[in-house]
Chains A and B, each alone.
Chain A
Amino acid sequence: MPEQKNVNVVDLENLKIHFPVRRGFLRKKIGDVKALDGVTFSIRPGETLGLVGESGCGKTTVGRAITQLYKPTEGLVKFKGKDLSGLSYNDLRPYKRQMAMVFQDPYSSLNPRQRAGDIVGEPLLVHEITTNDQEYRKRVSELFKICGLSSDMSDRYPHEFSGGQRQRLAVARALAGNPSIIICDEPISALDVSMQAQILNLLQSLQEKNTGMSYLFISHDLLAVEYISHRVAVMYLGKIVELSDARDLYKNTLHPYSKALLSAQPLPNPAEEAKRQRIILEGDVPTPLNPPPGCSFHPRCPYAAPECAESCPELKDYGNQHFVACHHVS
């Protein structure tokens, strides 16, 4: 595939992913879980896009849709400008070589019966990147070194590693195929704080060394997302409600949901923490089986007006590439 410059690594266009819900003996379809309901955004080469939102809002589904684990119900996933819909599993392989995933749980994402070296080298074999044994070994030990692991440990099994080391193995595996994008699906949520810092720094320095590599960094840890991301997207119930430059989003939050979300984050500085105003939202997240009409956030929104229940706000640019989907932002 010819490499093109100035082309977004990933484009999602009005992406909808609905999972049918079936009940009863005849498995009659009784509705759809609208995991993603019209998501549009792009990831540029070399950038980290943070994706935040509460549990069940569809963050993980976005990541899995990009790696083609879920087929879109509607809309497009483009990789480097190429529409991936309609390609068979085998046709997708050359594209999948350029994407990689790091999962949340490093205990479940590594095959317990495979040796660490084989886990890391898996993409090399799957995509036939290395042709001989010597080359393979050299590359694997290199990947170990890059991720701060001793290549002497390549004969160990995953359970002989700590959580942080396992996650480094997962990162090493993701790097093996020299991907253009790594989907990091909550890569630090299962780790303790010191390990979180290690993985974040590892990811960041990898990107500094290889400026063409992008990340989709999915997390609910707002501080980590602020630290690592260039741009941040906030999701609510299968939709993007705010998307902007990271600093801009954290300093100049526009969408009421984003404001509430950010206000839930404790501040490291005790003086500021004491002054922190929490916005407590009323009620629960509505079920994605039957999302409310209009703006899906309106039942819980402190600023809701009648129009919010009628029409769904579009994601609009409010200057400086700051996109918000709300009727009340001016």
Chain B
Amino acid sequence: MDDHNMKDNLAAEGFAGAEPAVENLTAEDFDADGFMPEEGEGFQVLEDGMLPMMDERKRFLKIFFHRKTVAIGFGIFVAMLLLAVLAPVVAPYDPYVQDLGNVLTGPAANHLLGTDALGRDLLSRVIFGSRVAILVGMVCVVVSALIGVTIGLVAGFSSQAVNSVIMRITDAIMAIPGLILILLIVAVFGSNIFAIILAVSLGMFPGYIRLVNGQVLSVRQNDYVLAELAMGAKHSRIILTHILPNVFSPLIVQMSMMLGGAIMSEAMLSFLGLGLAPPIAAWGRMCFDGQKYLSMRPLLSLAPGFMIMLLVFSVNMVGDGLRDALDPRLRGTLG
């Protein structure tokens, strides 16, 4: 190692004489003195196109649809959404019109799935039931995620003492049996859609706190968070631009699982007679109503039950696919 020239120069000038670093370094400074390395020496400047590059959207779609189950799940989910949106167009009958002369018929040409105890068309009711399930499920997930993620991010980024307090309270909330909490809220606020959304969301948000808190605790160990702290970035900036995007994948998966859970909770509430008031077509309620005729007309319970299963499955598959497709480490692996 014979590179003390620079040190000699600096020593001759004396460190004290050196100007503090205030001027902007520019690329031209370096070019002028031939600092930019010549070809074959120093490092090579990689030009774009030397590495294979993929279109962002194409890559996302490719990974997302790579697994067949995800593709199928996504197809089912889209079909369910369309069914919910287009229910009045698709359904052959009005789901609320009773035909008391034509009750409990089996599947036939004019009623594809038959009719229920009040003579309403089962197929139409199943189709309209998707509206309640998807609406309640999605609103619950969004509400609980907003609350839970906010608290989780703050808890994870706070000092250990604050973190402990928040997490112990969360544990306490989680210790309340979900069903009892839901029953309590519905009993207090009545069987309307807001009470149901509130009840289901309150049952779910501590799960987000726990998930996000754990993720933040692990993400903040990374040097890039340390680099931000050393740089003096505002804490809100660190949380929103550096931590949140890095906890996003597990969050998406959690939200999709929770969507399934919320749909199930709503169905369960309806099944227990605490859901939306009777004439409204809700799958859980239909399962319950149908069980009296289970031996005679099993479709009355099985059809809405099958729809619940199908929707929850499709939602979980979509979540799984999103997790893979949102992971930048899988970028280009399927190129």
Chain B neighbourhood of A109, CB < 8 A: 222-224, 226-227
Residues A227 and B30 in contact, CB atoms below 8 Å apart: no
Q: A283 to chain B: closest CB distance in Å?
A: 32
Q: Which of A4, A157, A210 contacts B23 (CB 8 A)?
A: A210
Which residues of A in the span 134-193 have a Cβ within 8 Å of any Cβ on B? 139, 142, 145-146, 148-150, 152-153, 156-157, 159-160, 164-165, 168, 173, 175, 177-180, 183
Closest to B52 in A: A160
B48 contacts chain A at the CB level, 8 A cutoff:
yes
Verify A126–B233 contact, CB threshold 8 A: yes
Residues of chain B in range 315-335 having any CB-CB distance to chain A below 8 Å: 328-329, 331-332
Q: For chain B, residues 209 to 254, give those with C-beta under 8 angstroms from any C-beta of chain A.
A: 222-224, 226-235, 237, 241-242, 245-246, 248
Is B21 an interface residue when CB atoms closer than 8 A count as contact?
yes
A276 within 8 A of B: no
User: Is the C-beta of B176 less than 8 angstroms from some C-beta in chain A?
Assistant: no
Does A226 lie within 8 Å of B20, measured CB to CB? no
Considering only residues 27-52 of chain B, those with a C-beta below 8 Å from chain A are 27, 29-30, 33, 35-37, 42-43, 45-48, 51
- Let me know if A294 is at the binding interface, CB within 8 A: no
Contact B224 A110 (CB under 8 A): yes
Question: Cβ of A29: which chain B residues have Cβ within 8 Å of it?
Answer: none
CA–CA, A42 and B10, complex, Å: 17
Q: Are A46 and B18 also in contact (CB < 8 A) when A113-B245, A148-B36 are? A: yes
Of A94-102, A235-243, A322-330, the one with at least 4 CB within 8 A of chain B: A94-102
Interchain pairs with CB closer than 8 A, number = 176
Q: In the complex, A221 Cα to B322 Cα: how many Å?
A: 44
Are B224 and A180 within 8 A (Cβ)? Answer: no
* CB < 8 Å neighbour of A246 from B7, B18, B36, B226: B7
- Say yes or no: B30 contacts A146, CB within 8 Å: yes
Q: Is A93 engaged at the interface, CB distance under 8 Å to the other chain?
A: yes
Give which listed residue, A101, A159, A209, A246, contacts B29 with CB less than 8 A: A209
Query: What does the 1/0 interface line of B2-31 toward A look like (CB < 8 Å)?
Result: 011011001101011111111111110110
Residue contact B10 to A206, C-beta cutoff 8 Å:
no
Size of the B side of the interface (Cβ < 8 Å), in residues, is: 58
A150 touches B45 (CB 8 A): yes
- B89 on the A face (CB < 8 A): no
Q: How large is the interface on A (under 10, 10 to 19, 20 to 34, 35 or more residues)?
A: 35 or more
Interface locus among A197-205, A285-293, A296-304, A311-319: A197-205
Contact with B along A203-243 (1 / 0, CB 8 A): 01111111111000000000100110010000000000000
B1 touches A (CB below 8 Å): yes
Cα distance A98–B232 in the bound complex, in angstroms = 10
| Contact yes or no, B237 A126, CB < 8 A | yes
Is the CB–CB distance between B6 and A92 below 8 Å?
Answer: no
Q: A67-B230, A148-B45, A213-B21 are in contact. Are A5 and B16 (CB under 8 A)?
A: yes
Are the C-beta atoms of B10 and A211 separated by less than 8 Å?
A: yes
In the assembled complex, the CB of B2 is this many whole angstroms from the nearest CB of chain A, namely 10
Q: How many angstroms from the CA of A207 to the CA of B13 in the assembled complex?
A: 14
Are A180 and B232 neighbours in the complex by a CB distance under 8 Å?
no
Q: Is the CB of B30 within 8 A of A209?
A: yes
Question: Is the beta-carbon distance between B227 and A173 smaller than 8 angstroms?
Answer: yes
Q: How far is the CB of B76 from chain A (nearest CB, A)?
A: 30
B51 closest partner in A (C-beta): A160
| Residue of A with least CB distance to B16 | A6
Would B27 and A142 count as touching, CB distance under 8 A?
Answer: yes
Q: A109-B223, A175-B25, A227-B3 are in contact. Are A99 and B230 (CB under 8 A)?
A: yes
Contacts A46-B15, A113-B246, A123-B231 supplied; 20 other A-B pairs, CB < 8 Å: A46-B10, A96-B232, A100-B231, A109-B222, A109-B224, A111-B224, A112-B246, A122-B228, A122-B231, A126-B233, A126-B237, A148-B43, A150-B47, A157-B328, A159-B328, A175-B25, A178-B21, A198-B42, A212-B18, A223-B1
Contacts from B to A (Cβ < 8 Å) = 1, 3-4, 6-7, 10-11, 13, 15-27, 29-30, 33, 35-37, 42-43, 45-48, 51, 53, 222-224, 226-235, 237, 241-242, 245-246, 248, 328-329, 331-332
**Sample (10) of A-B pairs whose CB atoms are under 8 Å apart:** A45-B18, A69-B229, A96-B232, A111-B245, A113-B248, A114-B242, A114-B245, A122-B231, A126-B232, A160-B331
Which 4 pairs, one residue from A and one from B, show the smallest C-beta to C-beta distance?
Answer: A46-B18, A152-B48, A96-B232, A109-B223
